[in-house]
Structure 1
Amino acid sequence: MSTPRLFLDAPLSEGAELPGTPAQAHHLGTVLRRGPGDAVAVFNPRDGEFAARIAALRKDRCAFAVEGRLRDAAPEPDLRLLVAAIKRDALDWVVEKATELGVSVIQPVLTRRSIVDRVNTDRLAAIARGAAEQCERLSVPRVAAALPLHAALDAWDGGSLFVAAERRGAMPLRHAVAGARLPVGWLVGPEGGFETRELDDVVSRPFVTAAALGPRILRAETAAVAGLAVLQALAGDWDGI
């Protein structure tokens, strides 16, 4: 039986007793059937990861007694995902897999062909947190509030941004990213792709490079994950494997 990992934003140190969230209490008690005294691990990107025990557990409350350090804090790649608002199940899946792939920020964007106009960032943040707990990373990506595409691009704070543009005759992503350094971002459009004028505006930005993921047209969620994998392999932290 594996030891549950739990993200705690509070400062972690040996001997501390820290509260968990209602969601963590529910997951531990109702889903995992754990109880006081059972082992867990707690973590955050500032302090690393610590062994801990469940000190108290009720239906909607829990607390953890922190023991020895398991892992020191370590830097993680500044890899960002900008993804068009797509159907709920597909977007949920993208957030989970992007978290596993090590992204630091997930920025939903509203495009002209987006079929949804609202994004539940609280739900997506919870999905990211759960995925981080499962995949042994120390941080949880920030899920930003959805923005119109042009606003997200106007707010871009530096680094290379690659956009999936399969129908533009763009160079393969593995060539486009050659020599790139973090931070880098990956932008994926909605079902049906960007409108022509919309994509024209995107690629006119000096920090944006159009890129392709091969000869096949991919679903938005597939393109998001495939592109992130390429960026991690060529510019992220996979070279340490």
Structure 2
Amino acid sequence: MPATPAWPPRSAPRLFVPGPLMAGAPVTLHGNPANYLARVMRVGEGDIVILCDDETGEWAARVTSSGKRDVVLEVAEHLREREEVPDFTLCAALLKKDRFDLVLEKATELGVRVIQPVLTRRCVADKLNLERARALVAEAAEQCARTALPRIAEPVKLDALLKGWDPSRALFFADELGGEPVFPAFRARQAPAALLVGPEGGFDDSERAAIRAHPAASAITLGPRILRGETAAIAASALWMAAAGDWQE
């Protein structure tokens, strides 16, 4: 007896689209999303596409027409509610574009809720194309089957970040000069929490002193080696998810 095909097909492409989605509603895609489905994935009438709207969750939709300029789908079935991710914010100093792209991508895969770019004295970059950054995290979320997009905030200067900090949110500071071991620190002060990671050259002495003086801040160590900015952001986010986030489940 032949096996029953998986529903929806595991090979079905995934896309984030504007919402809210609902059963029976038509969805018309233009531009890059349509080009991706029609020319890259070569979808045709009757094929299934997984749609997420960052509001109602994940839906299976059936292609009703696929042309050169647009792809039309009909929403068929609600598959999953929008996921709840831990209340964890990554405050990452801006890096060179390719390195910060890596931070955005991997933070999305790891389940970070908010990404807050930070401007420090030793930052090489001082601007972030938010539209491009949001497109990048959407693509990463599609690849790892997230149903909730991380929020990317406007870049903020370090002094402004500290001045406006909510004291109820733990602020873990990855300090290359040393601090508490990560697992005891993360487990002692769980969500809501945030991680602050510096740029290529690290924080200068006055920045380090200001962070350490903040009542919400706790310095942590990421081991015996000095890590690059992108490595520290990714590694520490993964450790937080393991110690205090949803990897425990």
Per the normalisation by structure 2, the TM-score is 0.89
2:26 aligns to what?
17
Task: Pick which of 213-222 and 70-79 moved more.
Answer: 70-79
* 1:110 to 1:65, Cα distance in 2 relative to 1, 3 A: same
Conservation of the 8 A alpha-carbon contact between 1:23 and 1:60 = no
Task: Pick which of 90-99 and 61-70 moved more.
Answer: 61-70
Q: Distance in 1 between matches of 2:192 and 2:64?
A: 40
* 1:236 to 1:21, Cα distance in 2 relative to 1, 3 A: farther
Larger Rg: 2
Q: Deviations over 1:99-141 (max 9, x none)?
A: 0000111111110000111111111111100011111111111
Aligned-residue sequence identity (percent) comes to 44
2:232 aligns to what?
223
Task: State the shift of 1:204 in Å.
Answer: 1.3
Q: Distance in 2 between matches of 1:175 and 1:132?
A: 30
Conservation of the 8 A alpha-carbon contact between 1:48 and 1:71 = yes
Paired residues in the alignment total 239
Letter in 2 for 1:51: A
Q: Distance in 2 between matches of 1:194 and 1:133?
A: 34
Q: Deviations over 1:40-66 (max 9, x none)?
A: 111234322111123344455443210
Q: Distance in 2 between matches of 1:221 and 1:139?
A: 23
Q: Deviations over 1:134-155 (max 9, x none)?
A: 1111111111111111222333
**Structure 2 segments unaligned to the other structure (5+ residues):** 1-9
> RMSD over aligned Cα, in angstroms?
1.7
**Structure 1 segments unaligned to the other structure (5+ residues):** none
Please point out which of 149, 155, 164 is paired with 1:146.
155
Q: Distance in 2 between matches of 1:148 and 1:58?
A: 46
Per the normalisation by structure 1, the TM-score is 0.92
* 1:59 to 1:87, Cα distance in 2 relative to 1, 3 A: farther
Please point out which of 169, 174, 189 is paired with 1:164.
174
